[in-house]
Amino acid sequence: MSALVIAEHDNARLKPGTSNAVTAAAKMGGDVHVLVAGQGCAGAAAEAAKLAGVSKVLVADAPHYAGALPENLAALVTPLAKGYSHVVAAASAVGKGFMPRVAALLDVAQVSEIVAVESPDTFVRPIYAGNAFATVQSPDAVKVVTVRATGFEEAAATGAAPVEAIAAGPDTGKAKLLGQELTKSARPELVAARRVVSGGRGLGSAENFRLVEALADKLGAAIGASRAAVDSGFVPNDCQVGQTGKIVAPELYIAVGISGAIQHLAGMKDSKVIVAINKDPEAPIFQVADYGLVGDLFQDVPELTAQL
């Protein structure tokens, strides 16, 4: 038995999620290899080699892996996968894109967004926005699994695995990446942050969202948001926390002006400590909050920022 973890990275560094996927893969029972496919990705490969539990890093370095296009990644991973019992990746936007392609090409099921490994063929995954947890068993020869980062610790950086170059797969030429508009921020990455401050529709405008930003900066926290705040243009799409956005589980999650719809709770209810500030005492967010404060956010949030 052995698992191949597909790393996600920006060529220089690994993205958060990959090291959690390595931890999950190690629980599946065998050796863990990591594949780094990119262009000029030696930095990311070196980082992968340090992850505890990894016994080998494979590197496919070619221009057509620059954009992590799913067609090219799947064409590389599928033939390699046949030598492994498990193919594993983080359930990130990239992982969600190419992994089902790999599964279909192998004619196997994919097990999406697992939060626990029960045995080499049995996994636990949330369904219905996390309102139920399914334990599923895969009989397939190769198990294709995506991993929810919040379910697993990060692997420690204590290893020293050998790095081996492998031949690149084909450039399928099916899609062309024209450009990216990445949100620039000096704040921690949302999915890996120890503290998150999220704002909802209650903020009312992009200008008012600065109240959330000021609080986040005082705490060294990442910024999150409800779908309503993103849809209203208060913050960019990559801030959305929830069933269909990002899943976070920081030590401290502060929800400001967020009602607590099932879809939002799905993305944050595993946070260690949850604080909710909302003027409506009936808001469902209070049902998951450790500390609830009923009040006007325009008064309470600046006050909180000042008192920290």
Partner 1 sequence: MKILVPVKRVVDYNVKVRVKADQTGVDLANVKMSMNPFDEIAVEEALKLKEAGKATEVVAVSAGPAACQETLRTALAMGADRAILVETDAELQPLAVAKLLKAVVQKESPQLVLAGKQAIDDDANQVGQMLAALLDWAQVTFASKIAADGGKLTVTREIDGGLETVEVALPAVLTADLRLNTPRYATLPNIMKAKKKPLDTLKPADLGVDVAPRLKTLKVAEPPKRKGGVMVKDVAELVAKLKSEAKVI
Quick one: what does residue 174 bind among partner 1, ligand FAD, none, with the CB cut-off 5 to 8 Å set by partner type?
A: partner 1
Binding to ligand FAD (CB under 6 A) within 208-237 occurs at 226-229
d(CA 95, CA 72): 13
Which position has the token pair 């399914």?
Answer: 134
CA 76 to the chain's CA centroid:
22
Residue 129 gets the label, from left (phi > 0), alpha (psi -120 to 50) or beta, of left
Stretch that binds partner 1, among 35-43, 159-167, 198-206, 240-248 (CB under 8 A): 240-248
What are the beta bridge partners of residue 5? 34, 88
Binding to ligand FAD (CB under 6 A) within 233-252 occurs at 240-245
Stretch that binds partner 1, among 18-26, 32-40, 177-185, 204-212 (CB under 8 A): 177-185
Stretch that binds ligand FAD, among 45-53, 138-146, 180-188, 260-268 (CB under 6 A): 260-268
Binding to ligand FAD (CB under 6 A) within 96-115 occurs at none
Question: Is residue 280 close enough to count as binding partner 1 by CB under 8 A?
Answer: no
DSSP string covering 248-269, please? ---SEEEEES----HHHHTTTT
Binding-site member from 83, 164, 273, 280 for partner 1 (CB under 8 A): 273
Buried b (16+ CB within 10 A) or exposed e, 145-174: bbbbbbbbebbeeebebeeeeeebbeeeee
Binding-site member from 26, 60, 117, 283 for ligand FAD (CB under 6 A): 283
d(CA 282, CA 29): 47
Quick one: what does residue 298 bind among ligand FAD, partner 1, none, with the CB cut-off 5 to 8 Å set by partner type?
A: ligand FAD
Quick one: what does residue 297 bind among ligand FAD, partner 1, none, with the CB cut-off 5 to 8 Å set by partner type?
A: ligand FAD
- How far CA 237 is from CA of 117, 204, 234, 285, in Å, comes to 31, 17, 10, 21
Residue placing its CB nearer to partner 1 in the complex, 10 or 153: 10
Question: Is residue 148 close enough to count as binding ligand FAD by CB under 6 A?
Answer: no
Quick one: what does residue 259 bind among partner 1, ligand FAD, none, with the CB cut-off 5 to 8 Å set by partner type?
A: ligand FAD
d(CA 207, CA 199): 12
Question: Is residue 85 close enough to count as binding ligand FAD by CB under 6 A?
Answer: no
Quick one: what does residue 92 bind among partner 1, ligand FAD, none, with the CB cut-off 5 to 8 Å set by partner type?
A: partner 1
Quick one: what does residue 38 bind among ligand FAD, partner 1, none, with the CB cut-off 5 to 8 Å set by partner type?
A: none
Stretch that binds ligand FAD, among 45-53, 136-144, 167-175, 253-261 (CB under 6 A): 253-261
Question: Is residue 30 close enough to count as binding partner 1 by CB under 8 A?
Answer: no
- Nearest Cα to Cα of residue 275 among 161, 158, 197: 197
* 65: number of Cβ within 10 Å: 22
